[in-house]
């Protein structure tokens, strides 16, 4: 730069302001003053030093004007008096300038008469719009009429801004977006304002989503708007609303519904994290064989195809996206998921299975299916026949009451035991898929076991007893000696289905069976013991004969060796080849013998319900002889107890009971009745003294209806075993009942659940209707027409954010627990705006109102601001924190201000989600003959995401005047924005 010396006439320094001292170096002391200090306070010491480095030397020779000239807000070049005086003495000179807090430097100004001109010169620029590595400059020029014009340039002013952004989107923080279709950019300095940006620019995100964005800056204030269309196979159409953080990072989120086949319900949260497309959501699935929740994720079509081909689930925690530039290749995104589902292949075969979900919505089981541990085909059945029994008894008479006695007996009987029959060690594995194109190849394996034993049993008993009013009460110990043979039959079949077919041909399916079978037996001797208590009542007593037994254990000893045979079978059903059978010897295995030899499982008729393990009912025991007559009353001497007759021992073979000590007909029992009254009641029932007690008739075979009811009860117990602890919702329960009702072998007319308070009561209708089972509820009881929706239900993601997310989550979960979070049609006339403005006027303090008025804020902006805390113009709605559609209170306590775009999209998204739940519920209710859904109680609301604090105002912030402080901070830019 060339300089020009001052004229011969010296400048009158008395009228000139003090010239600024040179910027000191770090080694020098002292505090700069005047304009230099102003620069340091505005843009910092370092930049001031860089900016004025050249000016310092020039200033030493008197060629730099004093002070700093502000260019911001100046449409024409009109220097202030100190600088104007300086330039009057020269035809050219250096002037320190700045543009607000964005740029500062030195310009060489030329003067011709009263006109000034500046050829285009660069001064350093720092602007929040630019985040790239290139250093921008503000190119300033002064032309005809003194108009200030300029633009932003890079690398000394080279390059077109649109071309630079198109080639390097990271220059303005859009590094991962494809801006290859960008046409032009805004880049002007005129009328004292610097206007930069791109408007309505087409973009592509992650090589998949297309949309538009606008990024503009007027001086320091930046505005951003953008959106992209969500196009993913398996998801409904959606719009990804974009936002830009103060650090220049562009992100976006959208909640999108599903278009997968029938059975899936829920939403997926799709997002852009500034580098890559993301997406994840837990959704529900209900099908004929599977039900539960799966986790769906967005991924590239190729990655999903590789996982599907390998039958592999995606990683639980996906790796973060690498920092990359914009993708020029076209990418197809799809949904792919995995999860643990409850399966029910049959009424008795159910459990859990790990599945993957392909982009077409097909389920494929990977790994083993885990069914219940075992299934009882029928319980152990015991058959006993008493051969003989003899007993010895010694009794001691008690006056009036009865006898105390001790006894010992021995008896022999024959026994036979069958069962239990059990299916256990069940394993289901292989490939099972709802995709018709995939070859099915799965097997069901389990062990089927039936055990049995027969022999003779010798039993000896001893103990003591008490006879009261002709009732014998015994307590004693017994020993059993057994001799017999025990055996079992066990098969471990593998039943499977597989599909085969050459390439290009239809696959052909075949069922097959293979496995091992063995039958083994072994003679044995056994010994066991027990304790017992027994009641033997007279003919007239309402007390039933009863016996309790407590086993003490037992042991067996094999006699000789065992004998058995085994076979291995392999056969394809429908094959022309005969089954392959291989026989082999086997040894008896005690682990496979499951019959309990010492505990009888037989159940007697009424009166035997208190029977414990291992109890026989001995009915031929002889009673003690009545004691001899007592001495006459008063025969005893004073101080001497009455003499009793000596004890008598009797050995009584089996046969009819002898008469017990007769009970006094006038004796009263504990309930106040006399013995005579009980005898009369017994005679009315057909009983007679001395008559033989009628034998208990064998139970009649169950009718076909009773047998089918029993099978239905068993199917219910197995299918709903998992719900005994966790409880079950009505919709899920109806799904299980529907699968059982469809089974033709049961012949059910109806199988429904009704409200029973804390439980559901399941009733089946053959003829007549019969209650079969109660099932624990999950959640509270639902009234007729009400639905308790237990699955996760997403609430729009912006509801949770750094400022109020925890509070909002507590509001939603608390209302859900109290059954206050539900959907029911209600009047939409709310008047939110009027209520909010009335509240704001009442709660804003007078000093804050006055401050706002002094700042020039409009009445509307004082109570309902049209800008955010970052000084950006924004449209806000008065929104319900707890959604009005979910019975949120229509009071100011439930209001906040939320950006209009979020509020509008959330309302329609939520409405669609509720409608989907209601439609599905109504369809199921119609099939079951139930009334239409009235209320839907959402028990598991899910709030996800983290919204920027620039899209909302809370009541507490308005009351404190935070919006007034934001207006004061960004007053200059907001004045222009709010006029538009």
Percent of the chain past pLDDT 90, that is, above it, reads: 21
- The pLDDT value recorded for residue 773 is 67
- The pLDDT value recorded for residue 252 is 92
Residue with tokens 């932003």: 152
By three-state DSSP, how is residue 2 classified? coil
Mean pLDDT across the stretch 562-567?
Answer: 78
Between CA 338 and CA 285 the distance in angstroms is 11
* Most confident segment among 149-163, 307-321, 568-582, 940-954: 149-163
Mean pLDDT across the stretch 252-263?
Answer: 88
Band of the pLDDT at 632, cuts 50, 70, 90?
A: very low
Average pLDDT over all residues of the chain = 76
Mean pLDDT across the stretch 962-980?
Answer: 87
Which DSSP string corresponds to 333-347? EEEEEEEEEEEESSS
Q: What is the CA radius of gyration of the chain?
A: 47
Q: Which helix H or strand E contains 837, and what residues bound it?
A: helix 832-843
Pick from 37-46, 573-582, 971-980: least confident: 37-46
Residue with tokens 């599903």: 258
CA 390 to chain centre: 68
* Two tokens, residue 157: 């002013």
Pick from 122-131, 282-291, 775-784: least confident: 775-784
pLDDT in tens, 498-540: 766 555 555 566 777 788 888 888 898 989 899 999 998 887 7
**Domain range list for the chain:** 44-159, 386-416+448-592, 707-776, 830-979
Between CA 769 and CA 556 the distance in angstroms is 49
Contact 327, 206 (CB under 8 A): yes
Between CA 429 and CA 315 the distance in angstroms is 22
Helices (H) and strands (E) in the chain, counts: 18, 42
Residue with tokens 């030899």: 597
Pick from 443-452, 620-629, 678-687, 869-878: least confident: 620-629
pLDDT in tens, 573-628: 666 666 666 777 878 787 877 777 766 654 433 334 333 333 333 333 333 344 44
Band of the pLDDT at 98, cuts 50, 70, 90?
A: very high
Pick from 146-160, 422-436, 760-774: least confident: 760-774
Q: Where do runs of H (alpha helix) occur along 542-695?
A: 675-684
Pick from 193-202, 459-468, 673-682: least confident: 673-682
* Two tokens, residue 886: 């979910």
Would you say residue 86 has pLDDT above 70? Answer: yes
Q: Which helix H or strand E contains 192, and what residues bound it?
A: none
- The pLDDT value recorded for residue 11 is 33
- The pLDDT value recorded for residue 884 is 87
By three-state DSSP, how is residue 62 classified? coil
Pick from 773-787, 860-874, 932-946, 959-973: least confident: 773-787
3-class SS string, 82-125: HHHHHHHCCCEEEEEEEECCCEEEEEEEEEECCEEEEEEEEEEE
For residues 318 and 418, the model is more confident at 418
pTM (two decimals): 0.48
Mean pLDDT across the stretch 432-439?
Answer: 79
Between CA 486 and CA 452 the distance in angstroms is 6
Task: Report in angstroms the alpha-carbon separations of 816 from 779, 798, 808.
Answer: 10, 19, 12
Mean pLDDT across the stretch 628-644?
Answer: 38
Distance from the first to the final alpha carbon of the chain: 43
pLDDT in tens, 552-563: 888 888 887 777
Mean pLDDT across the stretch 921-949?
Answer: 77
- The pLDDT value recorded for residue 655 is 39
- The pLDDT value recorded for residue 352 is 81
Would you say residue 97 has pLDDT above 90? Answer: yes
For residues 713 and 510, the model is more confident at 713
Q: Which helix H or strand E contains 715, and what residues bound it?
A: helix 704-719
pLDDT in tens, 325-349: 566 678 899 999 998 888 776 656 6
């Amino acid at each position: 730069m060339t300089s020009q010396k001052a004229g011969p006439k010296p400048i009158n320094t008395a009228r000139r302001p003090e010239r600024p001292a040179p910027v000191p170096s770090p080694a020098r002391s002292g505090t700069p003053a005047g304009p230099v200090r102003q620069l340091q306070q505005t843009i910092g010491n370092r930049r001031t030093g860089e900016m004025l480095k050249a000016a310092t030397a020039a200033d030493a020779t008197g060629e730099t004007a004093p002070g700093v000239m502000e260019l911001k807000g100046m449409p024409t070049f009109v220097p202030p008096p100190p600088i104007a005086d300086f330039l009057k003495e020269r035809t050219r000179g250096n002037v320190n300038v700045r543009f607000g807090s964005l740029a500062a430097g030195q310009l060489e100004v030329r003067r011709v008469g009263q006109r000034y001109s500046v050829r285009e010169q660069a001064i350093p620029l720092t602007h929040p719009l630019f985040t790239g590595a290139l250093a921008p400059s503000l190119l300033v020029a002064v032309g005809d009429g003194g108009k200030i014009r300029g633009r932003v340039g890079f690398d000394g002013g080279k390059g077109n801004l649109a071309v630079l952004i198109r080639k390097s989107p990271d220059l303005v923080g859009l590094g991962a977006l494809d801006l290859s279709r960008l046409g032009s950019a805004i880049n002007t300095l005129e009328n004292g304002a610097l206007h930069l940006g791109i408007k309505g620019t087409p973009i592509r995100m992650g090589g998949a989503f297309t949309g538009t964005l606008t990024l503009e800056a007027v001086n320091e204030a930046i505005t951003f708007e953008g959106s992209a269309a969500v196009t993913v196979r398996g998801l409904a159409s959606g719009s990804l609303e974009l936002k830009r953080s103060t650090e220049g990072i562009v992100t976006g989120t959208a909640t999108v519904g599903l278009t997968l086949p029938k059975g899936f319900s829920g939403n997926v949260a799709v997002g852009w994290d500034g580098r890559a497309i993301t997406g994840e959501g837990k959704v529900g699935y209900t099908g004929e064989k599977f039900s539960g929740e799966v986790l769906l994720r967005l991924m590239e079509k190729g990655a999903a195809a590789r996982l599907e081909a390998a039958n592999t689930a995606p990683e639980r925690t996906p790796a973060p996206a690498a920092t990359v530039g914009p993708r020029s290749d076209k990418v197809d995104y799809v949904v792919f998921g995995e999860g643990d589902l409850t399966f029910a292949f049959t009424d008795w075969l159910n459990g859990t299975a790990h599945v993957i979900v392909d982009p077409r919505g097909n389920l494929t089981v990977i790994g083993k299916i885990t069914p219940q541990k075992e299934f009882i085909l029928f319980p152990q059945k015991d058959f006993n026949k008493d051969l003989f029994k003899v007993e010895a008894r010694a009794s001691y008479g008690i006056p009036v009451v009865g006898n105390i006695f001790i006894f010992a007996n021995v008896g022999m009987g024959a026994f036979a035991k069958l069962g239990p029959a059990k299916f256990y060690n069940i394993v289901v594995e292989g490939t099972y898929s709802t995709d018709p194109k995939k070859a099915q190849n799965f097997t069901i394996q389990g062990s089927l076991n039936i055990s049995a034993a027969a022999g003779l049993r010798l039993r000896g008993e001893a103990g003591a007893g008490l006879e009261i009013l002709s009732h014998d009460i015994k307590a004693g110990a017994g020993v059993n000696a057994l001799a017999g043979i025990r055996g079992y039959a066990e098969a471990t079949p593998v039943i499977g289905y597989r599909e085969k077919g050459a390439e290009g041909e239809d696959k052909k399916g075949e069922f097959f069976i293979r496995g091992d079978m063995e039958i083994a037996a072994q003679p044995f001797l056994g010994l066991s013991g027990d304790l017992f208590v027994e009641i033997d009542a007279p003919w007239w007593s309402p007390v039933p004969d009863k016996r309790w037994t407590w086993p003490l254990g037992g042991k067996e000893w094999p006699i000789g060796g065992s004998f058995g045979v085994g076979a291995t079978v392999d056969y394809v059903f429908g094959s022309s080849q005969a089954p392959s059978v291989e026989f082999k010897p086997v040894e008896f295995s005690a682990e496979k013998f499951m019959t309990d030899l010492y505990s009888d499982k037989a159940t007697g008729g009424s009166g035997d319900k208190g029977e414990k393990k291992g109890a026989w009912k001995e009915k031929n025991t002889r009673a003690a002889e009545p004691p001899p007559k007592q001495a006459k009353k008063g025969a005893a001497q004073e101080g001497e107890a009455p003499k009793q007759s000596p004890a008598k021992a009797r050995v009584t073979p089996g046969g009819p009971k002898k008469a017990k000590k007769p009970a006094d007909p006038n004796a009263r029992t504990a309930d106040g009745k006399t013995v005579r009254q009980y005898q009369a009641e017994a005679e009315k029932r057909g009983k007679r003294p001395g008559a033989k007690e009628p034998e208990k008739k064998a139970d009649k075979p169950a009718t076909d209806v009773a047998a089918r009811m029993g099978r239905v009860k068993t199917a219910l117990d197995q299918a709903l075993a998992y719900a005994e602890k966790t409880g079950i919702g009505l919709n899920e329960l109806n799904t299980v009942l529907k699968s059982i009702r469809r089974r033709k072998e049961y012949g059910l007319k109806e199988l429904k659940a009704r409200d029973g308070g804390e439980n559901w009561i399941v009733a089946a209708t053959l003829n007549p209707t019969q209650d079969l089972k109660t099932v624990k509820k999950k959640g509270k009881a639902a009234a007729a027409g009400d639905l308790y929706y237990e699955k996760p239900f997403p609430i729009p993601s912006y509801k949770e954010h750094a400022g109020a997310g925890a509070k909002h989550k507590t509001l939603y979960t608390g209302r859900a627990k109290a059954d206050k979070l539900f959907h029911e049609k209600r009047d939409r006339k709310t008047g939110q705006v009027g209520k909010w403005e009335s509240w704001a006027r009442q709660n804003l303090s007078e000093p804050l109102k006055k401050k706002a008025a002094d700042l020039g804020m409009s009445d509307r902006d004082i109570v309902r601001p049209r800008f955010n805390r970052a000084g950006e113009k924004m449209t806000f709605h008065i929104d319900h924190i707890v959604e009005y559609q979910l019975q949120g209170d229509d009071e100011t306590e439930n209001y906040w201000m939320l950006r209009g775009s979020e509020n509008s999209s959330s309302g329609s998204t939520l409405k669609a989600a509720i409608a989907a739940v209601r439609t599905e519920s109504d369809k199921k209710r119609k099939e079951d003959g139930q009334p239409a859904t009235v209320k839907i109680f959402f028990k598991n609301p899910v709030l996800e995401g983290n919204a920027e604090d620039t899209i909302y105002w809370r009541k507490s912030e308005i009351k404190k005047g935070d919006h007034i402080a934001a207006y004061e901070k960004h007053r200059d830019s907001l004045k222009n924005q709010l006029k538009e």
